[in-house]
Structure 1
Amino acid sequence: MGATPRVRTVTGLLADGVVHSPGAELLRFGDDSWTYEQADASSSRLAHRLIEGDGVAPGDRVAIMLPNVAWWPLTWFAVLKTGAVVVPVNSAYRAADLAFVLRDSGAKVIVTDAEHLPLVRDVISRDDALTGIRILDVADAADTDFPATAPDIAITPNTLANLQYTSGTTGFPKACMLTHDYWTRIAWGCAAAAGLGDDDVLLTAQPFSYMDPQWNTVLALTAGAPLVVLPRFSASGFMADVRRHRVTFCYVLGSMPTLLFKQPPGADDRDNHLRAVFCSAIPAALHARLEDRWGAPWRELYGMTESGIDLISPLDDAAAVGSGGIGRPVPTKQVRIVDADGAEIPAGTPGELTVSGAPMMLGYWNRPEETARTLRNGWLHTGDLAVADDRGEIRLVGRIKDMVRRGGENVASAEVEAALETDDRVVGAAVVAEPDEMLGEEVKAFVQLAAGGTGDRAMAEAIIARVAERLARFKVPRYVEFVADFPRTPSERVSKPALKARAAEVPGTTFDLRDRTPARRCASPDTAQSDAAGEHVLVDMIRDTAVITLRRPAKLNALTVEMRLRLAALIRDYGTGERARGIVITGTGRAFSAGEDLGVPPTTFAEMRETFKTFHDVTRAVIETKVPVIAAINGIAVGGASEITLCCDARLGTPQTEFFQPENARGLTISNASSVLLPRIVRTHAMRIVLGSERIGAEEALRLGLIDQIVEPDSLLERAIDLVRAWTPEGGNTALHLALLRPSSEEIERAFALEDTAADASWNSGAFTAGIKGFWNAKKPAAATGENE
C-alpha cells in the first residue's frame, strides 16, 4: 500500500464498498448486522431528512449524542453526506458539559435518543444562546419517504468532517478540526501496518463519541472487513466476545490491557482467531505475557486526536516486546524530541515529542491562540515527555504537566504508575501531587486493588515496598489511598482533576507512609538494617545504564555493613549484562562517601572481620561484572570509599573531587585491595597516598591518573553514562576486554589475605580501637560533648 489512500473521503469509501461488495457485512451490533448497501441507503435517507427537514447545509455543525448503537455510525455517514460537520458528544455528559459543547461548536441540530431527550431539551431551554437548536430523535431517523441515494453534494478530502473534542483533562475540552483526509489516512496506514483484508473481523468497545470507533469504522471500509461494536468495554466479557465473533484484529488502550490480563486465566484463552492487537500504552512488564496468553502479537500504536496515528510498531518487530517503545513513524509522519526552546536534543535526553506530516488537524475550533501554541512551524507539540535511544527507539516517560515537583526533583507520574501496576495486587494506579510545606509537593498514589484485596495499611506498605525496589527513593509515594474505581475521560484515561475533586469531596482513608528514621546498627534488627540500606543505596535505570547512588548525605554517605552488602548485591545484579549496558556509582551531597561509618564501629573481632569481608565483597562484585563500572566522584572519597572507586574501570571527577585515605594516620588498615589497585593506577604515588595519608585534590588526582577527567557537577552523571555507552557498542567484545584489562582475581585475593592478616594484627594490638577513638576525640572532644564514648 502506498502512502496516499486510494479513496480519500469517508463517504467515497462507503460508496466504493457499495459498488464492489453491496451485500458484504460492514457493521455488527450484537446479533444485528448492516451490509454496505443497507448502511448506505439508511444514511442517505437520513441525510436528505437533515437537509430538507432541518435545513442542514454544508459547513453546519450537527451533534450526535448516542450510546454505542448502529445509528451512531449511520448518523455520522449521513451528516458527512450533507457536507456538514459532525460534533460527537459523550453520551455520559451531564448538563454543564453538554451546554458547553453545543455553545462552543455552534451546533444547528442534535441527534439523540429517548434516554437523553429530557436532558437535551432541558439544557437547550435554559440557555438563550442555544435557542433554535433543532432536536432529532433517532427513532425518527429511519424515514423511508426520503431517497436512498446520497445527496448531490461535492465532498473533497479537505472537507471538514468532525469537530472532535479532546478529553479535557486540563479544563474544558478543545475541538480538533478533522477532515475526510484525516480519517482515511489513519485507516489506510493502520490497514497497511496490520495487513488487514476482507477476511478479517475487527472489534471496538470504546464509546463511539471517542475517535477510536470512528477510525475503526473507516478502517473497516478500507479493508473491506466487518466491524463488531460492543456496547461498552467489559474486562470479564471482552475475550468471550472476541471468540464469539471470531475477531482477528482489535485496538485497546489505557488500562484495558491490565484489566484484561488480571482476569482469571482460562483454558480457552488461546481459543481465538486473533491475528494482531494494536494498543496504546502496553504495560512493558506484561507485554510478553499478554502475547503468550492470547497467542497473538500486541503492538504499540501512538497518536493523538490532533494528529491521528503517528507511530506504530511493526508486527514483525519482536524486539519491541517489553521494550516500552512506542513504535516507528508511519510513512507520512516525522518525529523529533525537543527542548523547551524547540531545539532537537540528543539521544538519551528526555524532551517533548513533536510530530509533523499527514494527517493532522487543521487546528482547534475557534481557538487560534491554542492552535498557535500547539502547532508551531508545522510541528505538533504533543505535551508528552519522551526519550530516544541511540537506535532511534522512542519511549514515553510522562506528560510535561503531569509531574510531581518533590523537593527539587521532578517525578513523572507515568513512571510511578507503571511501577505500581506491575504488582499483581494492583488493577490500576493514578499518581498526583500532594501539597507539602517542606518539599513543596509529595507523591500520592490512588490505587485500585484486584478482587479480594484488602485496602489496609499492611497492603499499602507491601505495595510501596515493592515500588521502592524499582524506583529512586524520591519517586516512591508517601501517601496511598485505595479506591474502588477511577473517573475516566472518553478516551479511557484517568481524569485526575475529577479524581482529586472526588477525593476532596468524599475523602477516603489515606495512609501516610512517611519514612521511619533508620535505627542505629547496634540496636536494629536485621529487617530494619536492610530497610536502611535500601534507603541509602539506590538504583535508577537511565539510558540502559544502572546508576547506583549512595544517598546518605547527612553522614557524607558513610557506609554501614548493610550498605556495602546492598551495594555489592546491586553491582552483581546489574553487572551480568542482561539488565544494563553498564554501571555508574556516585553519591549525593558534597561527598562521594566518607568510607566506613565510624559512628557504628566494630566492637568485636567478628564484627571487624565482617567489616573487611564486606569491603572485599564490593571489590569482587566489580571485578566480576561483564559490563563497565564507572565511578562518578562528585566530592570527597574517603578510605574504603576511595578504594571502591579504584576498583572501577574509570573515574570521572568534578573540581570538588578529593581522595583521602586516612587509615594509616589513624592506626587502621586498608581493606579493599589498595595494595594492588593503587600501584596499578598511580605507581610510585601509592606509598605517599597510603602511608602519608595525603589529601589528593581534583587537579592533582587528574595529573596522577586517579581520575580520567574533570567535568562540571551538573554534567558528571551524563558524562559517565556517555562513557558506558561508548564502551558498549553493538556487537562489541566489551566483556572479553574487561576480563583482560582488569586485575586478576588471584591478585585481588592475595591482597585480601595480606589485608586480613594486617587487620587481625591491628585489632589484637589495640591499634584499631585506638584509631577510632582518636578520630572521635579529634572530631568532638569528650570534655565538650561526652559523645565520643
Structure 2
Amino acid sequence: MPTDTTTVATTRDETPRPPAVTHEQMGATPRVRTVTGLLADGAARTPGAELLRFGDASWTYAQADASSSRLAHRLIEAHGVTPGDRVAIMLPNVAQWPLTWFAVLKAGAVTVPVNSAYRAADLAFVLRDSGTRVIVTDAERLPLVRDVVSRDAALTGIRILDVADAADANFPATAPDVAITPDTLANLQYTSGTTGFPKACMLTHDYWTRIAWGCAGAAGLGGDDVLLTAQPFSYMDPQWNTVLALTAGAPLVVLPRFSASGFMADVRRHRVTFCYVLGSMPTLLFKQPPAADDRDNHLRAVFCSAIPAALHAQLEDRWGVPWRELYGMTESGIDLISPLDDAAAVGSGSIGRPMPTKRVRIVDADGAEVPAGTPGELTVSGAPMMLGYWNRPEETARTLRDGWLHTGDLAVADERGEIRLVGRIKDMVRRGGENVASAEVEAALETDDRVVASAVVPEPDDVLGEEVKAFVQLAAGGTGDRATAEAIITRVAERLARFKVPRYVEFVADFPRTPSERVSKPALEARAAEAPGTTFDLRDRTTSGASASSDPAAEHVLVEVIRDTAVITLRRPAKLNALTVEMRLRLAALIREYGTGERVRGIVITGTGRAFSAGEDLGAPPTTFAEMRETFETFHDVTRAVIETKVPVVAAINGIAVGGASEITLCCDARLGTPQTEYFQPENARGLTISNASSVLLTRIVRNHAMRMVLGSERIGAEEALRIGLLDQIVEPDDLLDRAIDLVRAWTPEGGNNTALHLALLRPSSDEIERAFVLEDAAADASWNSGAFTAGIEGFWSAKKPAGPTGENR
C-alpha cells in the first residue's frame, strides 16, 4: 500500500456552504447508497479535497481512491479474493485502516475488523468464526498473527498481508469492475451483544450510508466542517464517522487513541467542528483541569452516548457547545438522537427521539407495549438494521422478532414521550466504551482447575461507568487469598483482551441459583451487599516493594504450546528478564498448570533477548522482613512446581543465567545452552544469600564445583558449563528452542510411556528439597537480621555501571 501523503493547511474556505443533508431530508433515502460509490463520487467532484487527516499528514479523495483501488486489484489478482470473501483488518489507527476498508469493499469482499489489542485466543476465534481468507496487519502484530494461523489447522490457509509491503503500487489506480449494490454485505462487525461469545453483525453498504446520512442531517454537517474521531478503527464508530465525512464532504481527523489530556488541544489545533464521544470519555474530559482556552474552539456540536446527566450542563458551559445524546447499537446503527435545538434535554437523562427512519416501542416480557412510566424492554424497528448474526440463526431469531430488534435495555417513557434508560436485561458489563459479555469472562475463569464456578457482574465506577467484577467459587482445599486471585486473573489475561479481564475478585462458598440451576445474579449481588466479603482490587497488581512498576506478570511470562510442548518464555529483555515476585508466582502457576501431563508432553523454559534471566529484580528489592520472606518463598515455589510435574522440564538457556534464575535451571531435568550461555551466581560476593535449594541441586549436578561457583561467585561460560555438567548440550541460538522441544518429545514416546515414573526416581525427593529450604530460610533470616542482605543490595547498586541504551542492567 502506498505511504506517500500530502501535508495540507488546516485553513478552510470561508465561503459558507449549505449542509450536505438538511434536517428535513434525514428520513429520505441517501443520494448515494454504497460506501464505494460515495468515495468515487467525491473523487470525481472534488479530487483534491482533503478526506482523511492523520496528524499532520493528509489523504485527498483522489489519493484515497487510487490507493484503495490498487489494493483492491492486489487482493483480487494476487490473493484470489472474490465477492463475499472475508478479509480481516488488524491495525491500529493508521491511514491504512480506512484505505484497506475501501479496498476490501471495492473488491466486493466483506471486512472483518479485528481489535488490534486482541491476544491469541480472541484473534483465533474471530478468524475461525468469520471464515477469513486474508488478514491485513502490520509488523508489530505479524508474529502474533503468524503464530495463531500456524497453530490452528483450520486457519492454515489464511493469507497474511503486511501493510508495509508496497507491492500494490504496480496495480491499476482505477476501481475493479465488481458489482456492488446497497444490499452488498460490507462488514462482519463483532460485538459481545447480550450474552455469550462475540457475534458478528452482518452490515451492508446501505447500513453505513444511512447512518451517515441521518447523522449529517441531525448535525447539519457540510463542507465547512471538520470531523474528529479517537476510538479504535476496529469499532464501528470511526467507520461510520468515515462514511459521514464522505457524505458531508468534510475531512475526518483521526487521532491515534483517546487522550483526555490532549483531546481538546487536538480539537483546537485541527479546528474541529464536530465529534462523537462515548462511555467514559465525557467524565475523563471533565476531570481535566479547567483552562482559560476551554472555549477557544470551533466546535458546533458534540454527539455522545451516555452523557452523565449530572455533568451535562457543565460540559456544555465549559466548552460552549451543545452536547446531545445519541442511542444505538451495532445491530441497528443510530436509533434515537436529541436535536441540537432541544435545550430541555440537557441534564434530563433522555436518550433522544427516534430517527425519522426508526420506530421504538417499550414492551413487557410478552411483547405488549407498556404504558408511560412503566419500565420495559426497548425495541427498535426500521432502517438501517443488520441482516442478522453471521452463522447464528437462533441468536438472530431471538434478537430480531417480527421486524423488531430487542435491545435488552430497560427503558421508561414519560408522558411527553421522552425515553430514559433505567437498566438492562443484558448480562454484560459496559466498561467505558467496551461491551464485555459476562459469559465469555466466566468461561475463561472456569478453565482454571481451581475454579468450580464463577459469576461476572458490573461494579459501578466513577470514570468507566462500570468495571468487571468476578465472584469465584474455589475447588475444595483452595485458599481464597490475594495470591490465588492474582494467579487466576493472570491466567485469564492470557485468554482475553485486557478490557475484559476482571479488576475485582470476591471468593464465595457457593452461589444462589434459580430452579433451572443458573446462578441468580440479582440474589448474589443482594447477598454481597448485605454481607460483603473480601473483595480484591487487582487494578494495581504491582511487585512487592515496587511502587513504580505496574506491568502485569502476564506480559513478562508468556506461554504457548508448540508441538505438544508448553514453551514458557521470560519476556522482560530491557531488564535482562529480571524476575519480580509476581513473575515467579505466574511462572510456578504455569508450570503446575501444564505439568499435569493432561495437555502437553513437557515444558520448556527460556528467555527473550540476551539473557535467560538476571534473577531477582534488585530494582524492586524487599524492604521489610515479610517482603524478604515472600521473595524467598516464591523462588522455593518454582522449585516445588518443577519437582512435582509429571512431564519433563527443559531449560533452554539462551544467554546469561544469574543468581536465582540460574538455580531455576538446576531444577530442570535438562539444560540446553548456546555459545552465549553463562552461569553467574554473584550473591555471596554481594553479601546476599542464595535461594531455591542450590545447596541440594548444585552439589548433585556439579559436585565439587559448587564451592567455587557459590563462594567464589565465578562466571561459568558455556564450554565450562558443559564440561562440569551444568549444560547437557550446546546448540546454535536459532536451533535452541527446536532442540529443547525435540528432547521433550524424545523423552515422552507415543503410545504410552513410563516417563513420570522415571522422573520421580531421578529427581531429588520433595523431603530432600524441603530440608534444604528450612536451612536456606534460616540463613536468609540471619542475613536479613544482621543487615548483610540490605548492605548487599546497596553494594550491588553502588558497583553497578550505568544502564545501557535499552535500559538493561550491565
**So what's the TM-score if we normalise by structure 2?**
0.53
Counterparts in 2 of 1:294 and 1:122: CA distance versus 1, 3 Å:
same
Q: 1:704 aligns with which of 716, 724, 728?
A: 724
Distance in 2 (alpha carbons) for counterparts of 1:94 and 1:534? 12
The unaligned stretches of length 5 or more in structure 1 are 518-522
Counterparts in 2 of 1:402 and 1:689: CA distance versus 1, 3 Å:
farther
Deviation per CA, 1:302-359: give whole Å up to 9, x if none.
0000000000100000000000000011110000000011111101000000000000
Deviation per CA, 1:136-186: give whole Å up to 9, x if none.
011125622100000011100000000000046733100000000000000
1:88/1:210 contact within 8 Å kept: yes
Counterparts in 2 of 1:283 and 1:686: CA distance versus 1, 3 Å:
farther
Alignment of 1:159-558 (within 5 A): 159-167=184-192, 170-402=195-427, 432=457, 510=535
Q: With CA pairs under 8 Å and 6+ residues apart, which has the higher RCO, 1 or 2?
A: 2
Counterparts in 2 of 1:531 and 1:275: CA distance versus 1, 3 Å:
closer
Deviation per CA, 1:196-251: give whole Å up to 9, x if none.
00000000000000000000000000000000000001111111110111100000
1:258/1:427 contact within 8 Å kept: no
Structure 1 segments of 4+ aligned residues over 6 angstroms from their partners: 403-431, 433-509, 511-517, 523-789
1:473/1:535 contact within 8 Å kept: no
Deviation for aligned residue 1:416: 22
Deviation for aligned residue 1:23: 0.3
Larger radius of gyration, structure 1 or 2?
Answer: 1
Deviation per CA, 1:405-457: give whole Å up to 9, x if none.
99999999999999999999999999947999999999989999999999999
1:255/1:428 contact within 8 Å kept: no
Counterparts in 2 of 1:37 and 1:268: CA distance versus 1, 3 Å:
same
The reply on whether 1:716 has 2:716 as its aligned counterpart is no
Counterparts in 2 of 1:252 and 1:653: CA distance versus 1, 3 Å:
farther
The unaligned stretches of length 5 or more in structure 2 are 1-25
Distance in 1 (alpha carbons) for counterparts of 2:523 and 2:497? 28
SS in 2 for 1:528: coil
Counterparts in 2 of 1:274 and 1:134: CA distance versus 1, 3 Å:
same
Deviation for aligned residue 1:482: 17
Alignment of 1:634-653 (within 5 A): none
Counterparts in 2 of 1:12 and 1:265: CA distance versus 1, 3 Å:
same
Distance in 1 (alpha carbons) for counterparts of 2:762 and 2:350? 35
Counterparts in 2 of 1:77 and 1:504: CA distance versus 1, 3 Å:
farther
Counterparts in 2 of 1:107 and 1:268: CA distance versus 1, 3 Å:
same
Counterparts in 2 of 1:332 and 1:459: CA distance versus 1, 3 Å:
farther
Deviation for aligned residue 1:716: 77
Distance in 2 (alpha carbons) for counterparts of 1:253 and 1:227? 18
Deviation per CA, 1:454-489: give whole Å up to 9, x if none.
999999999999999999999999999999999999
Deviates more, 1:424-433 or 1:740-749: 740-749
Deviates more, 1:389-398 or 1:648-657: 648-657
Counterparts in 2 of 1:307 and 1:491: CA distance versus 1, 3 Å:
farther
Deviation for aligned residue 1:591: 75
1:630/1:724 contact within 8 Å kept: yes
Deviates more, 1:669-678 or 1:130-139: 669-678
Distance in 2 (alpha carbons) for counterparts of 1:141 and 1:238? 33
2:85/2:132 contact within 8 Å kept: yes
2:460/2:467 contact within 8 Å kept: yes
SS in 2 for 1:511: strand
Counterparts in 2 of 1:697 and 1:485: CA distance versus 1, 3 Å:
same
Counterparts in 2 of 1:606 and 1:10: CA distance versus 1, 3 Å:
closer
1:301/1:313 contact within 8 Å kept: yes
Deviates more, 1:179-188 or 1:494-503: 494-503
Distance in 2 (alpha carbons) for counterparts of 1:537 and 1:131? 27
Query: Which residue pairs with 1:633 in the alignment?
Result: 653
Counterparts in 2 of 1:636 and 1:286: CA distance versus 1, 3 Å:
farther
SS in 2 for 1:586: strand
2:225/2:251 contact within 8 Å kept: yes
Distance in 2 (alpha carbons) for counterparts of 1:160 and 1:197? 28
Deviation for aligned residue 1:500: 13
Counterparts in 2 of 1:669 and 1:360: CA distance versus 1, 3 Å:
same
Counterparts in 2 of 1:670 and 1:163: CA distance versus 1, 3 Å:
closer
Counterparts in 2 of 1:263 and 1:512: CA distance versus 1, 3 Å:
closer
Deviates more, 1:348-357 or 1:585-594: 585-594
Deviation for aligned residue 1:20: 1.0
Deviates more, 1:715-724 or 1:506-515: 715-724
- Measured on the aligned residues, the alpha-carbon RMSD in Å equals 26.1
1:653/1:698 contact within 8 Å kept: yes
1:251/1:279 contact within 8 Å kept: yes
Deviates more, 1:66-75 or 1:716-725: 716-725
Deviates more, 1:434-443 or 1:381-390: 434-443
Deviation per CA, 1:660-681: give whole Å up to 9, x if none.
9999999999999999999999
1:26/1:227 contact within 8 Å kept: yes
Counterparts in 2 of 1:524 and 1:665: CA distance versus 1, 3 Å:
closer
Deviation for aligned residue 1:3: 1.7
SS in 1 for 2:378: strand
Deviation for aligned residue 1:567: 59
2:117/2:497 contact within 8 Å kept: no
Q: 2:96 aligns with which of 63, 71, 78?
A: 71
2:89/2:111 contact within 8 Å kept: yes
Counterparts in 2 of 1:611 and 1:350: CA distance versus 1, 3 Å:
farther
Aligned residue pairs, count: 784
Distance in 2 (alpha carbons) for counterparts of 1:319 and 1:727? 75
Deviation per CA, 1:737-782: give whole Å up to 9, x if none.
9999999999999999999999999999999999999999999999
2:195/2:427 contact within 8 Å kept: no
Deviation for aligned residue 1:279: 0.2
Deviation per CA, 1:543-567: give whole Å up to 9, x if none.
9999999999999999999999999
Percent same amino acid among aligned pairs?
91
Deviation for aligned residue 1:617: 69
1:443/1:477 contact within 8 Å kept: yes
Deviates more, 1:526-535 or 1:657-666: 657-666
2:431/2:466 contact within 8 Å kept: yes
1:312/1:326 contact within 8 Å kept: yes
Counterparts in 2 of 1:628 and 1:36: CA distance versus 1, 3 Å:
same
Deviation per CA, 1:477-526: give whole Å up to 9, x if none.
99999999999999999999999999999999749999999xxxxx9999
Counterparts in 2 of 1:648 and 1:216: CA distance versus 1, 3 Å:
same
2:544/2:622 contact within 8 Å kept: no
Counterparts in 2 of 1:346 and 1:100: CA distance versus 1, 3 Å:
same
Deviation per CA, 1:694-740: give whole Å up to 9, x if none.
99999999999999999999999999999999999999999999999
Counterparts in 2 of 1:80 and 1:478: CA distance versus 1, 3 Å:
closer
Counterparts in 2 of 1:328 and 1:227: CA distance versus 1, 3 Å:
same
Deviates more, 1:52-61 or 1:668-677: 668-677
2:70/2:171 contact within 8 Å kept: yes
Counterparts in 2 of 1:210 and 1:511: CA distance versus 1, 3 Å:
closer
2:122/2:496 contact within 8 Å kept: no
Counterparts in 2 of 1:467 and 1:188: CA distance versus 1, 3 Å:
same
Counterparts in 2 of 1:284 and 1:16: CA distance versus 1, 3 Å:
same
Counterparts in 2 of 1:705 and 1:769: CA distance versus 1, 3 Å:
same
Deviates more, 1:575-584 or 1:245-254: 575-584
Distance in 2 (alpha carbons) for counterparts of 1:328 and 1:743? 73
Distance in 1 (alpha carbons) for counterparts of 2:555 and 2:450? 24
SS in 2 for 1:720: helix
Counterparts in 2 of 1:396 and 1:127: CA distance versus 1, 3 Å:
same
